[in-house]
Amino acid sequence: MLYRQAVRLHNASAPRRAWLLASKVRREGRAMSGLPLFVPRPALRFAVIGGGFAGCAVAWHLLAAARAHSPIAVTLYDGAGLCGGASRAAAGLLHPFTPRGRLLWRGDEAVADALELVAAAEAAAARAAACAACDTDKTERDPDIGLEDRFVWRQPLMRPARNEQQAREFAAAEGRTTGSGFQVSPLPAAAVAALAPGMCADAIAAASAAGGAGAALLVQGGLVLHPERYLRALWEACRQRAADIGGGCAAQLVRQHVPSLVQLQADAGPFDAVVVAAGAAVGVLPELRGLLPLELCQGFTLELAPPSGRAAHTLPGGTLYPAGAPSLLGEFYVAAQGRSTAVVGATRRYGLTPLASLAECGKAVDWTRGEAAAAACELQREAAALWPAAASWQVAAVRSGVRAMPPRTQDGKEQAHRNYGVQALATCSDLAHRVEDALK
């Protein structure tokens, strides 16, 4: 995740000042000789540390500000490659609302930026697929980055009521529509039963006890992303953008751990700026150690698939994920990626150190034993409480990630109820606007 205070710009300004002085001398000389005044700029060099949602978004926004006469070169550093940290364990549920149906702080702005990124990733994947069998695309694709599989599903999202009290709160909630096209509204028990047949029985019962209204909040316009495929496509968009502009523009992925910002500048610099988007591992960097008030939370997510070797219609309790049914939000959630994949999350374990968080990045999880096996059982049980057919599905994968969260108070609540994963996109946009202003 990317916090405003986590962004540290380490400027190598001396070469830039020298170029400005040399440009002024060349312009004056060209003016006297009658030659064109245009003097190409050297590329602004940016290092981005972290290959997750925030880091890839920063890279894309930076390259979106590049022009042929103002090139930008971005180097993305991550020891685990793209989507190796907390982003890899995310469910990919995208919407701008709080659990009570209110708009998150800067939520409308953030999801508008997120939708722009999704559109860029989809366009890049389509272009790469169209040019896979021809030589018309000059972008040299990374052979390890596959773009063939679908990575976005546009579907409603639904937050079922946990109990009778929440059903009453949902019933009293006001429906609202955001400027980016998202809409949230309360649903009565009968509507939930029709929209998600065989699902959310506890919510329907709670709403019935509260008068029948407020069984759930329905979010129209929601998205579910496959995090790894999405980030691969977004990085491909960065590479295509750099290749299209040329003139010194570049997008390079370096699978390397950065031990310190000073060492990075010494080994690969000078960079005009370094953007740190390292999430829970930010405290590993000595220059930032202890500066951010973060609570680190490790969690497992569970990927379920229909049992192999059995036709979908023979599954006990139902078929594949019900056609047209929404993904489910809540303390435990079910994100449907089509009808044959469901991601369930998430467990929580606090108290990790930045070094322990770094060790989780790219880590293979053996879900047949130990803590991961216990988490898989817990998550499948919670999923079955919302959607009984989940009990018949099989475990396809268990993933682990560590989130960087605001500190908690003594009663266990977070001090700030803000979705920093969404705010990161707005922050990236703000950073890109500042770069655009600098290039003018």
Domain finish residue from 195, 221, 247: 221
Cis status of the peptide bond prior to 270, with omega within 30 of 0: yes
**pLDDT for residue 290:** 86
Q: Is residue 109 part of a domain?
A: no
Q: Check whether residue 285 and residue 425 sit in a common domain.
A: yes
Q: Is residue 61 part of a domain?
A: yes
Helices 420-439, 107-130: axis angle to 10 degrees equals 80
Q: Check whether residue 82 and residue 28 sit in a common domain.
A: yes
**pLDDT for residue 41:** 74
Please give the C-alpha separations between residue 117 and each of 65, 123, 157, 168, 233, in angstroms, as whole numbers: 14, 10, 20, 37, 10
For residues 226 and 411, the model is more confident at 226
Token digits for 74?
Answer: 């971005």
Q: Check whether residue 248 and residue 278 sit in a common domain.
A: yes
Q: Check whether residue 399 and residue 427 sit in a common domain.
A: no
Q: Check whether residue 377 and residue 335 sit in a common domain.
A: yes
Chain-centroid distance of CA 202 in Å reads 31
**pLDDT for residue 406:** 80
Euclidean distance between CA atoms 57 and 74, whole angstroms: 12
Q: What is the CATH number of the domain that holds 396?
A: 3.30.9
Q: pLDDT tier at 131 (50, 70, 90 boundaries)?
A: confident
Q: How many structural domains is the chain composed of?
A: 3
Q: Check whether residue 287 and residue 425 sit in a common domain.
A: yes
Q: Check whether residue 288 and residue 421 sit in a common domain.
A: yes
Q: pLDDT tier at 209 (50, 70, 90 boundaries)?
A: confident
Q: Check whether residue 333 and residue 385 sit in a common domain.
A: yes
Domain finish residue from 200, 221, 242: 221
pLDDT digits (tens, 9 = 90+) for 213-266: 889 999 999 999 999 999 999 999 999 999 999 989 999 999 999 999 999 999
Phi, psi of 271 (to 5 degrees): -100, 140
Q: Is residue 126 part of a domain?
A: no
Q: Is residue 128 part of a domain?
A: no
Contact criterion met (CB below 8 Å) for 170 and 212: no
Q: Check whether residue 284 and residue 300 sit in a common domain.
A: no
Q: Is residue 108 part of a domain?
A: no
What is the pTM (predicted TM-score) of this model?
0.83
Q: What is the CATH number of the domain that holds 424?
A: 3.40.50
Q: Coil, helix or strand for 173?
A: coil
% pLDDT > 70, the chain: 77
pLDDT digits (tens, 9 = 90+) for 366-396: 988 999 999 999 999 999 999 999 999 999 9
Euclidean distance between CA atoms 316 and 375, whole angstroms: 23
Q: Check whether residue 400 and residue 427 sit in a common domain.
A: no
Euclidean distance between CA atoms 338 and 265, whole angstroms: 44
Q: Check whether residue 310 and residue 390 sit in a common domain.
A: yes
Q: Is residue 259 part of a domain?
A: yes
60's torsion region: left (phi>0), alpha (psi -120 to 50) or beta?
alpha
Q: Domain residues for 192? A: 156-221
**pLDDT for residue 431:** 55
Domain finish residue from 164, 194, 221: 221
Q: Check whether residue 424 and residue 399 sit in a common domain.
A: no
Q: Is residue 22 part of a domain?
A: yes
Q: Is residue 104 part of a domain?
A: no
Q: Has residue 98 got a pLDDT over 70?
A: yes
**pLDDT for residue 211:** 82
Please give the C-alpha separations between residue 223 and each of 56, 85, 339, in angstroms, as whole numbers: 19, 21, 15
Placement of tokens 């999923």 in the chain: 383
How many Cβ atoms from other residues are within 10 Å of residue 330's Cβ?
A: 17
